[in-house]
Chains A and B, each alone.
Chain A
Amino acid sequence: MADTEELIDELAGLTLFADLSRPELAGVAHTLEEEWYAEGQRILREGLSGTGFYVLLEGEVSVRLGGDELARLHRGAFFGEAAILLGELPGADVVAAGRVRVVNLAGPAMKNFLMRHPNVMYRMLQEQTRRLRSANRWRR
């Protein structure tokens, strides 16, 4: 549980939102919706449309395909953006590994949110680039 002030403090501590001023963070905290998941609950569902963008505040999630764990994400990680940005269905499940707290942004609101907060878009791009570089390294 967090009231908005606590949520602002939490968001301020995440890399994705590190460049935002406090008033901007307040706007973000009022825009994102907090959600809570019990262990084993699905947050993102493979093949289902209309998904959202999630930032992990507490706990860990497991990225799963056909019962196999592809990756594990920790506090500060974000997921769901690829399906929204590309207009595709999610390619895997994301499942709560223990109790999980996230903030969520609805898919249709994503473009407007990123255009309003270019610093968040830049941080997201950095992280995506890191992921791409890692993937390319593995391929070599």
Chain B
Amino acid sequence: METLAERPFPPGDYPLVVVGSGPGGIQVSYSLRRLGVEHAFISADDSPGGMFRRFPFFQRLLSWTKPYAPVPRGSRAYQRYDWNSLIGDEPTHQAIQPEFMDGTSEFPSRPEMEAQLAEFVHRAALPIRYGCRWEATRRDGDRFVLDTSDGEYRCGLVVFAVGVAEPFTPELAGREHVVHYVDTRDAASYAGKRLFIVGKQNSGFELASGLLHWASRIVLASPRPAKLSVETNTLAGIRARYLQPIEDRFMGGGVYILNASIEGVERAGDVFRIKTRATEGGMDLTIEADEVIAATGFVTPLRDLPALGVATFGQSRLPAQTAYWESASLPGVYFAGTINMGSPGLKKNGVGGTGAVHGARFNARILAREIAERHFGIVAPRPSLAPRDVVNYLLEEATDAPELWNQKGYLARAVLFGGDGPYDEGIVPLQAFVDGSGPDGAAITLEGDAEGVVRPAAYVRRGGSVSEVMLDPDPLNEFRGSADGRARLTAALGELLP
């Protein structure tokens, strides 16, 4: 049994502190450690996993891991097919999730995901100070001071990886009668009940799907029409896993889906009456239910950071971030994990970066490199490329790079041209390349359009100005052999190439 004295990272002075032991915090701490950046890693929880220690309720994730993919398990290209494993540098730290799946679904169960994260921490021997709750923040000159349940941590830099984890229920009359998603009970306790679910995003449909067997009637309501991921061709939308309630509504199976604002909830004896007003036409409708659940999402638990100068926006109160996930208003404060949605990138066709593990794990690794280079002078090598190989390399990355597939239009492979010729700049936030300055070069990413067609998009910087080169799609997403792609990239790079 670990005693208090044996816990790592006692309160004190550190160059950097990482807060939060969900996937984002674990990945950024792991990557910082591999780069040799000294830091403390603290967590309020008593084990790793963050939100996956509790959610989703109905046991399976929305993110797949395919044990049998077209590429070898453990290879870099495999990360595209394994959305859940954290990214390790050594073979034993890679592709851990498939080891923890029982073969019944490509979507790991919540306990399987939690086990994978714990195993990653164990194999990497990643030190974490558990049971250390960050409570308040202040400045002392150019240092940050974190007050925690264990004492004071002083540091020059902080990475907050605390999730978008605080339950949010909007203001409405009778809010006290509404239970938040996080307080959902065992499914069987809803047997025969009439449910009213506020919210038509994935958490609302997750509950509806999980309770179809039990509830006698389910009404889902919110002002905006439900969008399906299979229609939007993005992760923004109800995922295919949760479509059953929509089919049940059409088939007359006791599910109702309303586009209406919730005007109030009142108790009437043993039941609740929910007053709704249709978004279009404004028709008032009062609905009786036995239970009212708010699947209205979460906000970011930033505590006193806004008072310290961290600008936030939107209903989730996400901190506004630069392309490298630093607070846009308070330098020295960085974010990892789901909170990275506060740096949406170029958002072409409305598609921003994802805060889910499959994308945010790559952000965390890039963030670690950025912090190491900018603040600690630890510069990662930039391998040289033969000029004749540049175009092929970019097209190969478009075909195979997991970072590009899992963070479409958000992360890119960049090749820059220095005095000694071209070199691999690595995977970078696309926005940083497009809006930043630097040597001539090209960054390639993958972009999806509204029809779900994925194509490579290259951004070529010459003389400080960036132009877009959209390449043709391929029916099998095999871009490396594309004569069209080679010709267009070669023309765009011009005399940079031999």
Contact = CB atoms under 8 A, between A and B. Distances in A.
Nearest to A40: B435
A106 interface: yes
A109 B409 CA distance: 18
Contacts of B53: none
B328 A38 contact: yes
B313 A4 contact: no
Contacts, number: 106
Contacts of A13: none
Contact of B349 (A34, A37, A108): A108
Contacts of B322: 38
Contacts of A104: 347, 350
Interface in A80-119: 99, 101, 104-109, 116
A5 to B, nearest CB: 6
A51 B347 CA distance: 8
Contact of B261 (A22, A41, A47): A22
State which size class the interface on B falls in.
Answer: 35 or more
A49 B280 CA distance: 32
Contacts of B311: 1, 36, 38, 99
Nearest to A99: B311
A35 B349 contact: no
Contact of A34 (B170, B222, B314): B314
B38 to A, nearest CB: 29
A72 interface: no
A106 B350 contact: yes
B385 interface: no
A138 to B, nearest CB: 29
Contacts of B350: 52, 104-109
Given A27-B279, A50-B447, A108-B350, A33 B224 contact: no
A3 B316 CA distance: 8
A21 B470 CA distance: 41
A38 B309 CA distance: 13
A118 to B, nearest CB: 12
Contacts of B314: 1-2, 33-36
Contacts of A7: 315
B468 interface: yes
A107 B282 CA distance: 27
B56 interface: no
Interface string B325-344: 00011000000000000001
A101 B349 CA distance: 19
A106 B329 CA distance: 25
User: Do most interface residues of chain A lie in helix, strand or loop, or is the interface mixed?
Assistant: mixed
Given A5-B170, A48-B468, A50-B349, A108 B313 contact: no
B76 to A, nearest CB: 28
A75 interface: no
A4 B199 CA distance: 13
Interface string A19-45: 001111011011101111110011001
A27 B313 contact: no
- Most chain B CB within 10 A, of A22, A41, A47, A50, is at A50
B313 A101 contact: yes
B346 A21 contact: no
B11 interface: no
A47 B187 CA distance: 52
Interface string B383-418: 000000000000000000000000001000000000
B312 to A, nearest CB: 5
Contacts of A37: 320, 328
B8 interface: no
A55 to B, nearest CB: 14
Interface string B302-317: 0000100001111101
Interface string B282-302: 100000000000000000000
B468 A23 contact: no
B223 A23 contact: yes
- Most chain A CB within 10 A, of B224, B350, B447, B467, is at B350
Interface string B254-281: 0000011100000000000000011110
A38 B348 contact: no
A100 B344 CA distance: 15
A50 B457 CA distance: 12
Given A24-B279, A48-B346, A106-B347, A34 B171 contact: no
B434 interface: yes
B380 interface: no
- Most chain A CB within 10 A, of B261, B311, B329, B447, is at B261
Given A1-B312, A27-B224, A48 B171 contact: no
Nearest to B434: A45
A48 B443 CA distance: 14
| A-B pairs, 6 with minimum CB distance | A106-B350, A50-B348, A30-B224, A108-B450, A36-B313, A27-B279
Given A45-B346, A106-B347, 18 more contacts: A3-B170, A7-B315, A22-B261, A23-B223, A23-B260, A23-B277, A24-B282, A26-B261, A29-B223, A33-B314, A45-B434, A48-B346, A50-B346, A52-B347, A99-B311, A106-B349, A108-B349, A116-B280
22 contacts: A1-B317, A2-B313, A3-B171, A3-B315, A4-B315, A22-B261, A23-B282, A24-B282, A27-B224, A29-B223, A34-B313, A35-B313, A35-B314, A50-B447, A50-B449, A99-B311, A104-B347, A104-B350, A105-B350, A106-B349, A106-B350, A108-B449
